[in-house]
Structure 1
Amino acid sequence: MWLFGASGSNMPATDQMQVQRIQERPRISRRHPGKPFWYLPVSLAFDASWAAAPVHLALRSAGDTQAMRYALVAAAAWLFVRTSRGRYALRSLGESGTVSAALRDWLVLVGLLAVMCVASGERTPVLHAVAGLAPCGPMAAVFQSLIHRHLRAQRRDGRAVRRALVIGEVSAIEGLVNHLARRTDHEFVVVGLCPIGDEDPDSLIPVHARLDRQPPTHLSGDSSPVLEAVRGLDVDLVFVAAGPCMAGERLRRLSWAVHGEGRPLIVLPGLSEVARRRVDVSSVAGLTMLHVAPPVRHAGALLLKAASDRLGAILLIVLLAPVFAAVAFTVRLGSPGAVLYRQIRMGKGGRPFTMWKFRTMVANAEQLAKELAGTNEQDGRMFKIRRDPRVTRVGRVLRRYSLDELPQLFNVLQGHMSLVGPRPPLPEEVAEYNDVELRRLTVKPGLTGLWQISGRSDLSWDETLALDLRYVDNWSPSVDYGVLCRTLRAVVEGNGAY
């Protein structure tokens, strides 16, 4: 999706409030991006403990007299692997805590220790040692996820952020400011603008310098006003929204000035919601090229997803059979009406299908919906009311823990849905979709997905759409695995479920 090409004028009032709020965030030193100092030492201590303690217990139970020695070696090796893969870099701490990254680190650790054992001729009980190392990966992922949640909370409160100056054409600047203002899960706060040309941005953020549309004939033409703004605002970095008036040699010269001041310069090409693994940078004939790989759509990956969906659905149906029976019995006793609720939803390619859920509303809920049309609390295509009077007492509990969604496993088994994917929309919602929103329908809807694990009904329509398009464009088996792992926590917490 191209983000910065269209004009962002007429900023909504909510976005203006968000821009004003991020302007009021505290001043951050450019020597440190504001992350709490304890992230690094606590991460090191936690990872070392979860490498050493289990190995020590496992080897000691096997009667090995060198248990402590091997435990210390395991801890040192684990920290070495994590450090070499950049897990403790300041830019990485708290930014993510994916299970897949921790699993890859764990595999590297096992291989490293195996090589060390062979090279040194040690006769350590290998199986016991490997068993002891098993908790390393999962516990590292859990701990980093906790730090990630803490960091996001810090940023929502205006802390742990970096001050930024934005340079570019007005339309690009407004697009960037609006995009950053709608989100609080990033580290950047825009404190000043440097537009190109005489046009005034429609933004509450002040303009601290201006650049001519024509490239200057001397180096100081751009550098003098930009460096004055950089020093006056004490920014941590400079954003440049690339465009016809700021590219090539002009952008290169500006980077000299910014780097000479000791600040990093970040060039925004205009792409959004593209996973890092899809992007590669190369240099040809002195030109820097950004390669964007297409989404994964080959037959092998799709066949793997389909097989995983059906096998997973069968397994879950068998394991959760007692839960199905208990919920059905409770729904039957809770209020008159059918146990299952059937509704037409739109699947891949806009094909309708019948979706099943445990009934959570009164029997005449659809008739009452017309009377409640004016009470919708969502700002987009979905209809949601936090205290919906149609929901039964039993239904509130089922929704709180997503138990009403369990019958959709049979939709997955039939091939109408996937275990992971966008939320299945209603026909009347799809009828109002624009060309961008229709892209949600290029994959199967899911029983769970990025929407479900990121706040559900608490999210705005723009946030919901952004999450769904991110999934559509960046899908991979590892993405599905990560969503499934995070779904259990989202269900237990129940945030946004109503």
Structure 2
Amino acid sequence: MTTRPTRPGDPGPVAPTEAGDDRRHMRRDSRFLPMLAGPAGTAAIRRVFSVAVLVTLDVTACFAGIYAALALKLLVQDQPVDAGAIWAVEQKALPLAATTLVLVFAKNRLYSPREQRGGAARMLSSVTLATVIVLVVVLVAGWRFDTYYIFYASWFLIGAFVVALRSSYDSVTALALDALHFERRALLVGAPALVATIAESLERSESRQGVPYRVVGRHQLTAGLGREALAGPAADLREALDPAAVDEVILTGWAGEDGPVLELLDICRRRGLPVRLAPTTAELLSHSVQAVPAPGLPLFDLRPPVLGGAEFLAKRAFDLVAASVIGILVSPVLLIAALAIRLDDRGPVIHRSRRVGVDEQEFDCLKLRTMRLGAEGEQDDLEHANEADGPLFKIRDDPRVTRVGRVLRRLSIDELPQLWNVLRGEMSLVGPRPLPRRDFERLDDLHKKRYLVLPGVTGLWQVSGRSDLSFDELVRLDFYYIETWSIWLDLTIMARTIPVVLGRRGAY
């Protein structure tokens, strides 16, 4: 029991109750409704405002797209733009089109927080789905129209307006948040080694979308978080759970009894602090989780990250078509690069690097040669200069790289021959990066699970920081890609690869 000094008019010492300190943290917000008190309430208000603005932008884009399609048709037909006639059509079409668009956007999580909304690919696929749904409803309802022009014209224009308005909104709000130095203050709780890794990943906010994180504390989860814990790690953690200093709690790596976790959740609930779970590498290995029947105990089926069946066929078909088209387009660049390599040192143009692919099968990864002859035999002498963490080997100013090779590496032109690996079925355009045998042998068993799918020419780690990322971040991004794969995601990553390569971010 603790006491506090008395003052004039003070009723005297007060013995704290089990939840007394929690009431102390909540008291200043008691004038509000309980659901709107504390950080959780503030976040809820921001979310409602954000969703309202996004819905307004989407309805505006829908109105503008239909209006522009009808006006453009009149202009093409050399007729005057009759705003009254267009509005008469809008009054009939807009409610159905806007409602369908908003519902599809909501289903596809386009009203989620900015880190989860997705980019232009998800917006355009959602607009496409909404257009198809409206077309089906109109046909079933028997609406009369003379041409399908309004559907494909509106699809194109609404998509363009949605992307433009939402991109503008994201840019403006990002600038505003940056000017206000807005950030999420995170308290990390869990095993020390995992907490350190999570802290490093969170604080690399300059290469991520959304509000940056600032880690304000790191604590190990222990038993006995009750009010009777007056000293030691448990007391320190309980005191650190202050809504005035923390916006959310991130838990990771707890493998002990459930009691401490339940105590932590209860304290955070009382104080209005959201709790997030940062998965370990093992937990990321679950491609999908499905409940399975078991007597008296809920069990879940964990599936490894594998693309199979229809997904694999769709991805393979996409790879064949896209790699063929890209190969034809970049063939002049390849010819110029090959000529430069030959003129530089008269050596071979193509370098065959033994890499580990799907199911741990080795293959020759084709690259334009960027190092002097015999460079692989010199690697053992350079191990002391390795700048990469984990099993990777990277040197920013590798002395083995030729003059021409430095240019090719900076622009990733040396990777273009891997299009042939894609056509041969040894690689995919997008996927986890294949590692040399030296790096692969240093992986632990969990990390080797990234080789359950075809390796890729580019991937999420290339567009999220490339060589600036730690190895743990690379593995997490690979597992996330496998879990959320879609053709749209592949297209998005390929589109984002171009400015990353041209900007030469993280390349060496």
Report whether the alignment pairs 1:436 with 2:443: no
Cα separation, 2, equivalents of 1:216 and 1:96: 40
Residue 347 of structure 1 deviates from its aligned partner by 2.0
Report whether the alignment pairs 1:133 with 2:155: yes
Cα separation, 2, equivalents of 1:285 and 1:98: 43
2:69 corresponds to: 58
Match of 1:464 among 439, 457, 474: 474
Q: Is the 8 A contact 1:39 1:147 kept in 2?
A: no
2:341 corresponds to: 331
Residue 71 of structure 1 deviates from its aligned partner by 6.2
1:419 corresponds to: 429
Cα separation, 2, equivalents of 1:153 and 1:434: 41
2:127 corresponds to: 106
In structure 2, stretches of 5+ residues that fail to align are 1-37, 75-80, 229-233
Cα separation, 1, equivalents of 2:200 and 2:178: 11
Question: How many residues are treated as equivalent by the alignment?
Answer: 446
Q: Is the 8 A contact 1:401 1:491 kept in 2?
A: yes
1:396/1:44 CA distance change after superposition, 3 Å: farther
1:146/1:327 CA distance change after superposition, 3 Å: farther
Q: Is the 8 A contact 1:102 1:138 kept in 2?
A: no
1:212 corresponds to: 224
Q: Which amino acid aligns with 1:438?
A: K
Match of 1:409 among 413, 419, 424: 419
1:303 corresponds to: 313
Residue 398 of structure 1 deviates from its aligned partner by 2.4
1:246 corresponds to: 258
SS of residue matched to 2:434: coil
Cα separation, 1, equivalents of 2:397 and 2:359: 33
1:452 corresponds to: 462
1:365/1:462 CA distance change after superposition, 3 Å: same
> What does 1:5-20 correspond to in 2, within 5 Å?
none
Q: Is the 8 A contact 1:94 1:148 kept in 2?
A: no
Cα separation, 1, equivalents of 2:398 and 2:255: 48
- TM-score, normalised by the number of residues in structure 2: 0.69
1:5 corresponds to: none
Q: Is the 8 A contact 2:101 2:130 kept in 1?
A: no
Residue 106 of structure 1 deviates from its aligned partner by 0.7
1:3 corresponds to: none
1:390/1:430 CA distance change after superposition, 3 Å: same
Q: Which amino acid aligns with 1:179?
A: I
Q: Which amino acid aligns with 1:458?
A: D
Q: Is the 8 A contact 1:30 1:162 kept in 2?
A: no
> What does 1:231-380 correspond to in 2, within 5 Å?
231=242, 233=244, 235-238=246-249, 244-247=256-259, 258-266=268-276, 274=284, 278-279=288-289, 292=302, 295-363=305-373, 365-366=375-376, 369=379, 372-380=382-390
Residue 407 of structure 1 deviates from its aligned partner by 0.8
Report whether the alignment pairs 1:391 with 2:401: yes
Residue 428 of structure 1 deviates from its aligned partner by 1.6
Q: Is the 8 A contact 1:362 1:392 kept in 2?
A: yes
Cα separation, 2, equivalents of 1:149 and 1:275: 34
SS of residue matched to 2:354: strand
Cα separation, 1, equivalents of 2:483 and 2:434: 17
SS of residue matched to 2:353: strand
Match of 1:182 among 201, 213, 217: 201
Residue 408 of structure 1 deviates from its aligned partner by 0.8
Identity %: 30
Cα separation, 2, equivalents of 1:93 and 1:107: 21
2:102 corresponds to: 80
Q: Which amino acid aligns with 1:102?
A: M
SS of residue matched to 1:383: coil
Cα separation, 1, equivalents of 2:267 and 2:41: 18
Deviation digits for residues 380-408 of structure 1 (CA, Å, limit 9, x no counterpart): 32222223344344333322322211111
Residue 131 of structure 1 deviates from its aligned partner by 1.7
Cα separation, 1, equivalents of 2:115 and 2:165: 9
Residue 421 of structure 1 deviates from its aligned partner by 1.9
Residue 454 of structure 1 deviates from its aligned partner by 1.7
Q: Is the 8 A contact 2:191 2:221 kept in 1?
A: no
Cα separation, 2, equivalents of 1:373 and 1:244: 39
Residue 84 of structure 1 deviates from its aligned partner by 4.0
Q: Is the 8 A contact 1:350 1:441 kept in 2?
A: yes
SS of residue matched to 2:364: strand
1:43/1:427 CA distance change after superposition, 3 Å: same
Cα separation, 2, equivalents of 1:88 and 1:413: 35
1:142/1:379 CA distance change after superposition, 3 Å: farther
1:458/1:139 CA distance change after superposition, 3 Å: farther
Q: Is the 8 A contact 2:354 2:436 kept in 1?
A: yes
Residue 182 of structure 1 deviates from its aligned partner by 2.9
1:382/1:245 CA distance change after superposition, 3 Å: closer
Cα separation, 2, equivalents of 1:476 and 1:180: 29
1:273/1:216 CA distance change after superposition, 3 Å: same
In structure 1, stretches of 5+ residues that fail to align are 1-27, 198-210, 218-222
